[in-house]
Structure 1
Amino acid sequence: MSATPHAQRRRRRSRIIAVAAGLATVGALAAATTATAGDSSYGKPGKQKPSRYQDVQLLSFNDLHGNLEPPAGSSGRVTEVHEDGTTSTITAGGVEYMATHLRKARAGHPYSVTAAAGDMVGASPLISGLFHDEPTIEALNELDLDVTSVGNHEFDEGAKELGRLQKGGCHPTAGCYIPGKKFKGADFPYLAANVLNKKTNKPILKPYWVWKQNGVKIGFIGVTLEDTPGVVSAEGVKGLKFKDEVQTINKYAKELERQGVKSVVALIHEGGLPASTNYNYDCDSPGAGDGISGPIVDIAKKITPKVDALVTGHTHAAYACTINDPSGKPRMVTSAASFGRLYTDTTLTYDRRTGDISRTAVKSANHVVTRDVEKAADLTALIDRWRTLAAPIGNRPIGYISADISNAGTESPIGDLIADAQLAYGKELDPGTDLALMNPGGVRAPLTYAAKGSEGDGVVTYEEGFTVQPFANTVNLQDFTGAQLISVLKEQVTGVNAASPKVLQVSSGLTYTLDLTKTGVDRVVVDSIKLNGAAIDPTATYRVATNSFLAGGGDGFTTLGQGTNDLVGADDLTALEKYLTANSTATSPITPPAANRITVIK
């Protein structure tokens, strides 16, 4: 399916009015308004004046992570709750289907804008990640995305690479992937209001952008989570500082108001956790109580009432809830899960007389990107083009599994497999390596048994391994005392991880109990921590394998940044490939780990 005339007009309009973002004076903004595309007959003699109230359709999504093809396993499913309380599972996702759904949703809505809340790229499957996410930017252009905030994963390769994705140009080391074709960059603006260059103290990209049509003006302010340096490698955020989300949004909401823009949407790459994992859970229903928790709740309660709606992300959750602003007035807060499985359709009723959104008329709902619709032909062609380039690398078998190896649970089977692989690789580098620890956020997907294409059931290809571990972190060995190792396990549930524990995946031989019925550091039962059946000796030295992100103290594991006797090995995907190759054959595949190393009490 080719782009509709409406979508083509939207893309042209996006290019024309992008200059409005960041303008400092009313006069400059007025000049941009003159250039805005729209109904040229508006205001001419004999033409009917638009009504006072105009519904604007806001379509939004978040955390795509380069999932151009339909995501596999649990990453490609959503759960729906029915009126009778029963639930069903729906397969979802894939940009070929998303394009069709978005284009159908826009039909009959001349006032429609599409926005996203970050992590469009990064931690991407091979079809995008192998090419530094150029395929995803091209796909988002075809989806007619108008604007997005940055997320933490937009900084995986640093600010300079993010700038290239915005402005275009071939990769500085990989070059141009298609001979004679220069990467053109994003048609839409990336917004980074709270990401400043340390030297200039100014945002590295536009802080906001204004959408206009026929006198309707809506400003979009984009921020990422302030703690981005805690979840991205130090190299990725080098030279940058990340400011408070609330203070930043409030600052630019005032600036937009001074420029005559009174309707504002915040695109925030920070999120919450709804009380239910069903995508259509009504967190505002009677009896639901506080239907959502997490960082976005406090943020939403503090953001100025000048902001009319919040599009959020980061937690990969699905919700469309209202949270009261500082004046006590309900305000819509949405998130569309992740990987392109959902999109949110929000109606913003614009008052032409006041220039503001009538909050009482705002309504929002998440919709599934089902796979029972016609694929968009232009996105299919895009995927086929990049798949052909990736095939020689991606189709290579690297191992065999006997069943799905899941990425679900506090301790996941795939997390244990990766930790075992890093321990085995660590022992190759240094036979004295004792254990391995893996951060759960670095495990991006399960391994699925069912065949993909012509590979055969149970075959694990390089592409599938890349999808599981796409970051190219190195495997690092460091020495820690037993006391430090105990501190590392305590950091799973304290400090920045106190509210939402980050449970490390552990290699075979390390066992302990995590009691989630307790609070604070007591959730880690110290007496239960054992290595190969022996209690951890606080004074002994242990050789520990981690990835380079953890070795730098990432995810709040500051003690892991204090190791000694460092040894840096190859990347983590190499370790996984070596382990699968050495420990599996077509006739003797790897069975899923039992995920019984951590005893969790709930």
Structure 2
Amino acid sequence: MKRNLTLIGLALSLASCTSLTGSGIEEVTVIGLNDFHGNLEATTFAGVMIPDPNDPTKQVRLTTGGVEVIGGYLDTERAKNPNLAFVGAGDLIGASPITSSLLRDEPSVIALSKLGMKASSLGNHEFDQGLKELLRMQNGGCDSNDMAKACKFENPYPGAGFQWLGANVVDKASGQPVFKPYLIQQVGAAKIAFIGAVTKTTPTIVSPDGVSTLAFLDEASSVNKYVPELKAKGVDAIIMLIHEGGTSKDGFDKPACGTLTGPIADIVNKLDPRVDAVISGHTHQGYNCVVNGRTVIQGDFYGHLLQRLDMTVDTRWHKVTSIRAANVVMDTRSTPKNAEMTALVTRAKTLTDAVKSQPVGTLATASILRAANPAGESALGDVIADSQLAATADRGAVIAFMNPGGIRADLNATGGGTTATFGDLFAVQPFGNTLAVMDLTGAQIKELLEQQFDNPNPGSNRILQVSKGFTYSYDSTAPKGSKVDPASIKLNGVTLDPAKTYRVTMNSFLATGGDNFVAFKSGVNVLQLPNLVDVDAFLAYVKANPNLAGGAQDRIIKSK
């Protein structure tokens, strides 16, 4: 849908008022960024279509985001109203493009710090590399679990200039928060409290070993616990930063929508009424809604949109008297660029482009897609599962499973041709998971397949991608535990024997029960392969199979 960006920008310019100093009334602007995922450079945004510059009869996606444009927008708005706070709603790092990820996401943290970010909720992807590495990202230093990447952008790495917040993340032994639960920021004459939380489902969507010492508590009750303490400190406003979200039927630019559903709506309905507004993330949606009289906003992902709250704050009575909310498009055509960010991106690209541009093989078409068919199987998922099986066949593996959430992008050959580079492959699998092999019985594999439907995160795709030769069918309407037809589970046309043992490959995330696939934790004769990274297996497969085509998506059958 085409958006009127001129009107959106005009409305926001009119909203940027000066402070009424001395009156007790303060005009405060809060700018939020969610699900940035280390996207230092601009990317295309599906929410706005524009005429194709090469063919005006066609439409293409608008290019938006990137730290240069985000920085330019913040510069412009701070010049209008210095009472501006820049904050985040989690997943600022993790699952990042190679320009950031190959440098351990340090350029992204440094960039956001230089842009004046003050606080962000934790996101599940902040925990991708475990608690120790996340604490390093917060506090600085070079004691990383990946010394090949750490401190290559800036040595020593200085740490984040902003505070990650996690009111609901506590140490299991002590019950105490591992990160600060909140931050009080002086914005002009107003005291604004930012309190953070991350989805309580985090242990099911990151490698369990990395968060084994942590408990992720109920989001609303954890935030509510601190509200009396904040009010006792005389704060004028409380903004919740949360890495959890929902979906809305309305567009990102419709104000005060009333159609928001999902976990965030349930959380907001349980919040203390003294929480004034909620900046959210996680579901990669653009919405600007009202739930139970309270603004709840999310800004898509990758910096395509910034969430904006223009608040009138009465510092005499310590309350917010009005909030005007909007999602602002970070349009690269019209937004000025921040020169310091341009220099930062240039340095990151200089350090990574040589690796990124290395050709590794050819594809049959310009792209192999990760979009799933109605059964949940994707052409790219087939290829990745096949690559992992090929890499571990010499360890006796006969079946490989791949989690769909680990496939972060389509495999797009550089420049629209058919030659794939390392950067193209890395964009698909940026996590750096290693591979593992284990023995599972036919009965355990049946149990594993049933766990695809025990989804703690409704609406997300959890159908495992499977390697060539492994097939089965399922009935989504059948009772829990009976959706997969055991007679249909076959390897090379032969039905699996429930009592027989099969050698199975998966990545390290799944091997420890990631995505709640706990059947993997019952495997025996487990062989961890610390020197075999998933993207390296993928690279070897692409190299060994010139003119590689996507899978036929005929391995998983959905009967109903």
TM-score w.r.t. structure 2 length?
A: 0.86
Matched letter for residue 407 of structure 1: R
- Whether 2:296 is the aligned partner of 1:323: answer no
The residue identity in structure 2 corresponding to 1:376 is N
Q: Could you tell me which of 42, 46, 69 is aligned with 1:97?
A: 69
One-letter identity of the residue aligned with 2:388: Q
Change (3 A) 1:281 1:593: farther
Aligned-residue offset at 1:549: 0.8
* Counterpart code for 1:346: L
Say if 1:313 and 1:335, in contact at 8 Å, map to a contact too. Answer: yes
Could you tell me which residue of structure 1 aligns to residue 41 of structure 2?
69
Given the superposition, is the C-alpha separation of residues 121 and 399 from structure 1 closer, same or farther in structure 2, using an over 3 Å criterion?
A: same
**Cα deviation 1:201-235 (Å, max 9, x = unaligned):** 32222211112234311100111122222222233
Secondary structure of 1:247's counterpart equals helix
The corresponding residue for 1:415 is 381
Give 2:323's aligned residue.
Answer: 362
Contact 1:493–1:501 (CA<8 Å) still a contact in 2?
no
* Residues 1:177 and 2:152 are matched in the alignment: yes
- Measure the CA separation in 1 of the matches of 2:273 and 2:118: 24
Report the alpha carbon displacement of residue 133 of structure 1 after superposing the two structures with TM: 1.3
Indicate if the aligned counterparts of 2:404 and 2:461 stay in contact, CA closer than 8 A: no
Q: Distance in 2 between matches of 1:333 and 1:139?
A: 26
The question of whether the paired residues in 1 share the 8 Å contact of 2:209 and 2:512 is answered with: no
- In the aligned structure 1, how far is the partner of 2:342 from the partner of 2:552? 38
SS in 1 for 2:26: strand
2:406 corresponds to 1:438: no
Provide the C-alpha distance between the structure 2 equivalents of 1:282 and 1:525, rounded to a whole number of angstroms.
Answer: 47
1:440 maps to amino acid: P
Correspondence 1:60 to 2:32: yes
Moved more, 104-113 or 239-248: 104-113
Q: How do 1:459-538 residues align onto structure 2 when only pairs under 5 Å count?
A: 459-494=419-454, 496-497=456-457, 500-516=460-476, 520-521=480-481, 524=484, 528-538=488-498
Instruction: Report sequence identity in percent.
Output: 40
- Within a 5 Å distance, the mapping from 1:384-399 to structure 2 comes to 384-399=346-361
Q: Are positions 1:125 and 2:97 aligned together?
A: yes
1:74-473 alignment, distance < 5 Å: 76-80=44-48, 89-172=61-144, 173-174=147-148, 176-177=151-152, 181-275=155-249, 278-280=251-253, 284=257, 291-324=259-292, 330-358=293-321, 361-373=322-334, 374-401=336-363, 402-409=365-372, 410-430=376-396, 433-451=397-415, 457-473=417-433
Paired residue type of 1:342: L
- Change in 2 beyond 3 A, CA 1:369/1:217: same
Query: 1: CA distance between counterparts of 2:299 and 2:242?
Result: 13
Instruction: Supply the distance in 2 between the matched residues of 1:565 and 1:201 (Cα, whole angstroms).
Output: 35
The answer on whether the counterparts of 1:256 and 1:262 sit within 8 Å (CA) in structure 2 is no
Structure 1 residues 262, 53: closer, same or farther in 2, change over 3 A? closer
Whether contact under 8 Å (2:207, 2:513) holds in the other structure is no
Structure 2 contact 64–332 (Cα < 8 Å) conserved = yes
- Partners of 1:81 and 1:253 lie apart in 2 by 42
169-178 vs 143-152, greater mean Cα deviation:
169-178
RMSD, matched Cα: 2.8
Residues in 2 aligned to 1:501 and 1:518: alpha-carbon distance in whole angstroms: 18
Q: Distance in 2 between matches of 1:239 and 1:378?
A: 39
Counterparts in 2 of 1:384 and 1:495: CA distance versus 1, 3 Å: closer
Distance 1:538 1:155 in 2: 36
Task: Name the structure 1 match of 2:9.
Answer: none
Q: Is the 8 A contact 1:407 1:446 kept in 2?
A: yes
Cα distance change of structure 1 residues 522 and 351 upon mapping to structure 2, 3 Å threshold: farther
Contact 2:26-2:189 within 8 A present in 1 as well: no
- After superposition, the C-alpha distances for 1:252-298 in whole angstroms (9 at most, x for unaligned) are 1121011112421111111112336x54466726xxxxx23222121
Q: Measure the CA separation in 1 of the matches of 2:23 and 2:380.
A: 56
Q: Which moved more, 1:295-304 or 1:103-112?
A: 103-112
Q: 1:92 to 1:522 in 2, by over 3 A?
A: farther
Unaligned 5+ runs, structure 2: 1-17, 51-58
List gaps (5 residues or longer) in structure 1: 1-38, 43-47, 286-290, 325-329
SS at match of 2:345: helix
3-state DSSP class of the match of 2:210? coil
Aligned equivalents of 2:64, 2:493: Cα separation in 1:
44
Q: CA deviation at 1:557?
A: 0.7
Q: In structure 2, what residue type is equivalent to 1:472? A: G
Partner residue, 2:54: none
Partner SS state of residue 68, structure 1: coil
Equivalent position amino acid for 1:445 in 2: A
TM-score scaled by structure 1?
0.81
> What secondary structure is seen at the aligned counterpart in 2 of 1:366?
strand
Deviation at 1:481, TM superposition (A): 1.7
1:462 Cα deviation from its structure 2 partner: 1.7
